Structure 1
Amino acid sequence: MNSAFVTGGIAIVLFVRIIIVWVFRCIRRRTETNSPPLKTLVILGSGGHTTEMLQLTKQLNRSFYAPVEYCRATTDTTSVMRLPDRLAVVHTIPRAREVGQSYVTSLFSTIYAQWHAMFLIAKIRPGLILCNGPGTVLPLCVAALFWRVVGWCPGQIVFVESYCRVQTLSLTGKLLYFWADLFVVHWEELHRQYPRSKLVDSFVRRQKDE
């Protein structure tokens, strides 16, 4: 009987020790990933979304935000050609929903995209995610939030709403408003409606108005 208690006690101590070591390793990984340079993942979208993201990345201090990698939907064939660095690392995930796709079939395509996003974020472990409005953003941000909760990577999310959004948020913006670590808007009207956002009289507005 005594030997059984001793064996059980040793097993409990070992189990607790394993948990403590795991927690401290997660904390250390998070601290190391947050220390400069910060690995940055930029999510691209077709058309204006990519234009605004590229204008934003021009302002990044590459001695702090590095390496900068990109992610696009598999059906986005134009964003890669617009990157200033032809040797940039570009990841791809399936698009969650195509334009005009039915809601029934989009359920399956969204699950498929989310599955790929989970593995991608776990693999690259970004310290920072920069994104704006395309549908590709949502699966990646959900994956980043999940891996942050379990301690695998910090995945801080900075959502920059599109310059074209003056009075209402995009659907992606509405979904991420309370989850993004920093939510940026360009217009005073939008900032008044969403006080949690940060108003930036921005790089996008200046360059488009010039």
Structure 2
Amino acid sequence: MRKRVNLLVCGNGGHQHEMDLLYSYMLNSTRFVDASPFILMTTSHHSRFNHLELINIMEVRSKESKISTLFLTPIAIIVNLFQLFRVLIRYKVCGVLSTGPGVAIIPIIICKLFRIKIVHIESMCRFYNISLSGRVIRLFADKFIVQNESLARKCKTFIYGGRL
């Protein structure tokens, strides 16, 4: 029988920092004592949490060049799908928790096709509208949590979760 796990999906920089804050909270909370273990899928090559299994995924776009993005995106999607399917074959994924950015879109869509629960937490720097990746992810997420009250008032389906 495959081991049950939860998948944490995030990019690097601020998105990984938010995931680190969230994971620290979960480690210190009694509500998550019996939760399945976590696997971290990230574009970063390191994590503060050495005990987590780390799956590296590629950025889906170049932040420096639109031309590079044309070549990078198809390759990144194939590599990221390969990494995701390795996890889905090896483990029984119970849920996906994402803090974005765009690298989380493909794993979330595929996991939703497998009827895996999806929770997305929008970045704390969003006050007036959700990010482009958030607009896509909210179509697939079972829970879409925002960290600012002004953003929570924009849509009835947004859940105000407070700041991490």
Q: TM bucket by the smaller chain?
A: 0.7 to 0.9
Select the residue among 60, 69, 81 that pairs with 1:96: 60
Q: Is the 8 A contact 1:133 1:170 kept in 2?
A: no
- Specify the alignment match of 2:161 in structure 1: 200
Larger radius of gyration: 1
- Specify the alignment match of 1:129 in structure 2: 96
Deviations 1:83-132 (A, max 9, x none): 2xx23211122332222343532452354145325513422331111101
The letter for the 1-side match of 2:40 is Y
1:138 maps to 2:105: yes
How big is the alpha-carbon RMSD for the aligned residues of Structure 1 and Structure 2? Answer: 2.4
CA shift in 2, pair 1:197/1:118, >3 Å? same
Q: Secondary structure at the match of 1:49?
A: helix
Name stretches of at least 5 consecutive residues in structure 1 with no aligned partner. 1-28, 149-154, 205-210
- Residues in 1 aligned to 2:128 and 2:152: alpha-carbon distance in whole angstroms: 9
Deviations 1:10-30 (A, max 9, x none): xxxxxxxxxxxxxxxxxxx9x
TM-score, normalized by length of structure 1? 0.66
1:69 maps to 2:39: yes
Over the matched positions of the two proteins, sequence identity in percent amounts to 22
TM-score, normalized by length of structure 2? 0.82
Which structure's relative contact order is higher, taking Cα pairs within 8 Å and 6+ residues apart?
2
Name stretches of at least 5 consecutive residues in structure 2 with no aligned partner. none
- Specify the alignment match of 2:23 in structure 1: 57
Deviations 1:29-67 (A, max 9, x none): 9xxx9xxxx621111321111111111112224423221
Deviates more, 1:127-136 or 1:116-125: 116-125
- Specify the alignment match of 1:159 in structure 2: 120
Q: Secondary structure at the match of 1:178?
A: coil
Select the residue among 115, 132, 144 that pairs with 1:183: 144
**Normalized per residue, which structure has more helix?**
1
Equivalenced residue count is: 157
Q: How far did 1:140 drift?
A: 0.8
